[in-house]
Structures are given as C-alpha cells and as structure tokens.
Structure 1
C-alpha cells in the first residue's frame, strides 16, 4: 500500500472471545431498535474485531433480531486478520481491510459503527479526533458505540455518539461477579480512564453509586439484580439517567454523557468530607 491508501490507525492486540460483546450488542438492539427499523440501509461496522471474527458474526445475529436485512462489515487494520476471517463471509457479512477511515463501497455509509477495545492503546488527547472522524463517516441519524470490556464481557462501559458528538454513557456488568459499581472503573473508555480522580464527575458518580450499592445491601439477599435496581433508582435524584427498570434489570445503567464528561460539573453534590 502507498502512504495515501494506508489505513488510519494502529493494530490492536487482537484479543477476542465468543460473546465478549454481548452486553453492548443487546443494548444496541434494544435501545436503538427504532433507528435500526427506520434505516434505509442498515449496514453496521465492527471496527477492529480482532484476531477472530466472532464479534462480527454475533453482531449480525443480534441486529437481525430487530432488522432481518441488517448487514455487518468487519473492518480490521491487520490484513492477515482479514484473510483469516474471509471464510466466514456469507450473505450480509463481509470483512474488509481498513481503519478509522471505515472503508465501505462508494455511496454507502454505516448506520452503526461499533468500536470495542480499540482506543485503549491511544492517548487520551487523541480520542476526540478519532470520535470526530468516525462520526463523520456515519449515515444521517447513525450511531457510534465506543467502549471497553474485560476479556469475557463481564464488565463493560461504552459511550454512544451521533454525528453531533457524544450522547450517553452506559455501565454494564454481570451482577453476580460485581463487588461494587466502582469495579467498573477499570473498564472506563479512554476518554475517562484517567479521570477517575477527586474533582472529576465520573469519580463523583462512581462514589455515589458505591454508596447506594452499600445502602441497599440488604436486597442482596433477594438477588444482586434487586440490589442493583434499587441502587440505580436512588441515583435519579442527582444524576441524569436516561433509561429505566427494563434496562436496569439487565445490569445496565445509562446516563447523559455531559454529566460525566471531563471538566463537567457533574450531577451530584460535592462530597463534604
């Protein structure tokens, strides 16, 4: 390749496992079902799918529960990974060599770009430019979902962005393995991973969440799910949550991005101690 056509970005470690991104996929299919149903061209991009194509295969299956004619293009910057994925191609599923330029055939723009565990290796100062580039590739009304999870998908935090920029942030966990909500701090996306310090809104949110989790510990005798639901519900007075019990039951909570954005005032009162 010439410098002019070289994909934009750097190769990831390629770590991947079946069902690693199931929480993110299910949230997309549920929370953004209307977007999928309305789209004229329901094509999604699994950006940086890694050394094996499992996440692209699974994304297609989950999107098709909402939109049976959805398509997925797995995009990888490592040509050897693309070659290894080619045997898995079928109607609606293909793989392409590329990076943040998000290569699609002329005239097509993705309704959805999912970039999971892609930006961890970048500097925080590079995130805004990558977000802007990816959002610039979206179809009108499209969505970028960018975030990080652990190796088997038990803990996950992601940001949802539209062409105008970041909209929401979601925290999701397998509740049976969760010690405290702040355990999710290690999976904050790159834009926030270094911001979990006193004075930053994400730190205040996780502090309040841990306190609520502790306050509702007696509900743990019923189930971790019941404890989570009640802890999340108690946050509504101080934080701008945008979902409800249906999603909370899945071990999720979503709030407006502007409440946790670096330098934002946050949604909670300061800690008096």
Structure 2
C-alpha cells in the first residue's frame, strides 16, 4: 500500500453514514459545461498528477448526466482518468448504477457510489468537483467543508467548488489546492448578462454574505459594473467584445489582478475571468 493511500485511509472517518445533507438534486444536460471546459483547459497538471488519477463528482444530483459529461470531457485530455460520482441519496446512486449497466462497457473507469464529504474512495482524488452542493450550508459549515475536502486531495490535486443557475448560463467557482483557495472564476453566457454584479447570487457560500460595503468582493463587483458600463461602445462588435474590454479595463484598475487577467484572451472570449482569491478574500 502506498504512503498516500495509508494516509488517506487513516484520515477517512470511521462511519457508514455519509457526511453532508441531501441536495435538491436539480440537474440537466450541459448545466456544468462551463466549469468542465475550464477544468479540462486549465487543470491538466492536476488531472495527470497521479499514476492512477481519480476525479470525484460530489453531489451530482438526481440524474447521473453531469457525472457522465465530466467523465467524457476530462478523458479527452487525461485518457487514464477514472471518475466516481458520489451521492448521499441511495436512489440517485441506483440510477447511476443502472445507467452504467445499460451502457455496457462504454464508460470504463466510471462508477457511482454512496458518499459525502468523507469521500469514500480508494485513493486521494486529483480532482473533486462539488457544484451546487454547499448552497444550503451556512458560511462556517462551507469553510469546514472546504477544509475537509482539501485535506483529502492528492498533493497535486484540486478542489473546484461553485454554483450555477439552472441552465448553466451563469456560474462562479473557486479552485482550491491542498494549501487553500487559489482563484475565483466568473463565467457567463455574456449575451444574457445584464451586468457583472448579477454574479452576486452565484457567489460561493464563503463569500455570498460578504457582498456588502467594506468587503473586497463587494468592491470588486462594483468596479466590474463600472468597467462594464464603460465598455458599452464595444457592444457594436458583439457581447464578447464588450466582455473582453470590460475585463481589460478591470485589470488596469485592480492592481491585485494578474496582467493580463488570469486565463488570457482565449478564456475571456468564452465569457470567463479568473482572479486571485486574495482579490476577494474576506
């Protein structure tokens, strides 16, 4: 048994009851496409950090569809990656298992099992995606969940935790390594975006109640709105052009942001911007 697995096994809670609360289970095809494509494009080092890399889709919902999509999208850049979908509700696990049984051998390395924040898997995952899971928790519980999940990652792994709207047009997520939060990413279908402060309702639970005057996240969204308004003339070239100009203006007015903004032009054209956690941290 490897040293990593010995440590991981020792850390696992000695209980059969999954840790966490059952979510509403709302899901739909392509709801998480924005975060999936971001993971595939920016987290390849993490996905390949282990000899037998494992990704966990934590709280995938009433349908296994988003776990299957995660598997398909990430295997395109990390062919040996295995994916385990974890759910607290036994009926949801049964649906995933039935899907695999009906699919024959179409998804080697994909599995579904019952579990929660304790991550009942056989080795430290290189990725944990937890989307629309912590919305029902209070801020203190969300911080504890982050700590628990980070502690169970592979040393080269990443936790991606966030939330999106019902059809995936607007999303915010945080990328965390074993050491702590790294970046916050805002992603939207920009032709449906009224103004950047509309992201406020999708902020992670560790930040959503901090969106008040005097907090960094509030100042950031207010400045993003100002830059969005200033970039309005670029709408003549389409909503993506306006988004790109607003992000460029934001980078010039916010010294804490990377220059160019994290992710560069390619990510901006997809309606994304990632900023360092320290830019928004409470």
What secondary structure does 1:120 align onto? helix
Alignment pair present for 1:187 and 2:198: no
Confirm or deny that 1:29 pairs with 2:40.
yes
Aligned counterparts of 1:101 and 1:197: Cα–Cα separation in 2: 33
Match of 2:281 in 1: 261
For the residues of structure 2 that align with 1:54 and 1:180, how far apart are their CA atoms?
31
Partner of 1:92: 109
Task: Point out 4+ residue stretches in structure 1 off by more than 2 angstroms.
Answer: 34-39
Question: C-alpha displacement at 1:203, in angstroms?
Answer: 0.7
Give the alignment of 1:52-71 within 5 angstroms: 52-71=63-82
Structure 2 equivalent of residue 246 of structure 1: 266
Structure 2 partner of 1:222? 237
Instruction: Describe the SS at the equivalent of 2:48.
Output: helix
Residues of 2 paired with 1:183 and 1:118: CA distance? 20
1:132 and 2:147 matched: yes
| Native 8 Å contact 1:41 1:111 kept in 2 | no
Indicate the residue corresponding to 2:6 in structure 1. none
Q: 2:163 maps to what in 1? A: 148
Distance between the aligned counterparts of 1:200 and 1:41, measured in 2? 42
Q: Normalising by structure 1, what TM-score?
A: 0.92
TM-fit CA distance, 1:38? 4.3
TM-score (structure 2 length as normaliser): 0.89
Alpha-carbon distance, 1:145 to partner: 0.3
Aligned residues: 258
Match of 1:162 among 151, 160, 177: 177
CA distance in 2, matches of 1:85, 1:34: 28
**Do the aligned residues in 2 keep the contact of 1:60 with 1:72 (CA within 8 Å)?**
yes
Residue ranges of structure 2 left out of the alignment (5+ in a row):
1-13, 101-106
In structure 1, runs of 5+ residues without a counterpart are 263-273
1:4 deviates by 3.0
In the alignment, is the contact (CA less than 8 A) between 2:47 and 2:157 conserved in 1? no
Distance 1:38 1:133 in 2: 20
Q: Please report the RMSD computed on the Cα atoms of aligned residues, expressed in angstroms.
A: 1.2
Q: Which has the higher helix share?
A: 2
